[in-house]
């Protein structure tokens, strides 16, 4: 996966929150939380909810990982 949500998990630690806390206030589903935990794709709506809830830019939620695949651009 080319994206990592490690910044989100660090943000949760800073705020003394657990992953399951994201189910209540920002209103994420359990399946979305599982996708985030596996660094799978989520919609921009989810990223928007998280950015709005924490009052941060997307780079505080996710980061791009260089996959270095043989894909052509």
pLDDT (tens, 9 = 90+) of the chain, 73 residues, equals: 689 999 999 999 999 999 999 999 899 999 999 999 999 999 999 999 999 999 999 999 999 988 665 555 4
Q: Are strands 63-64 and 3-4 parallel, antiparallel or unpaired?
A: antiparallel
Output the CATH code of domain 3-64: 1.10.260.40
Per-residue confidence (pLDDT) for residue 1, from 0 to 100: 66
- Across 28-56, b (16+ Cβ under 10 Å) vs e yields beeebbebbeeeeebeeebbebbbeebee
User: Which pTM value belongs to this model?
Assistant: 0.85
- Which spans in 1-73 are helix H? 6-14, 30-37, 44-54
- At 70 the pLDDT is 52
């Amino acid at each position: 996966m080319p994206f990592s949500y490690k910044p989100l998990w660090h943000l949760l630690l800073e705020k003394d929150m657990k992953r399951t806390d994201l189910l209540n206030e920002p209103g994420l589903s359990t399946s979305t939380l599982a996708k985030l935990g596996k660094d799978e794709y989520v919609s921009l709506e989810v990223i928007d909810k998280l950015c709005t809830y924490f009052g941060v830019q997307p780079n505080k939620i996710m980061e791009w990982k260089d996959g270095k695949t043989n894909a052509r651009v």
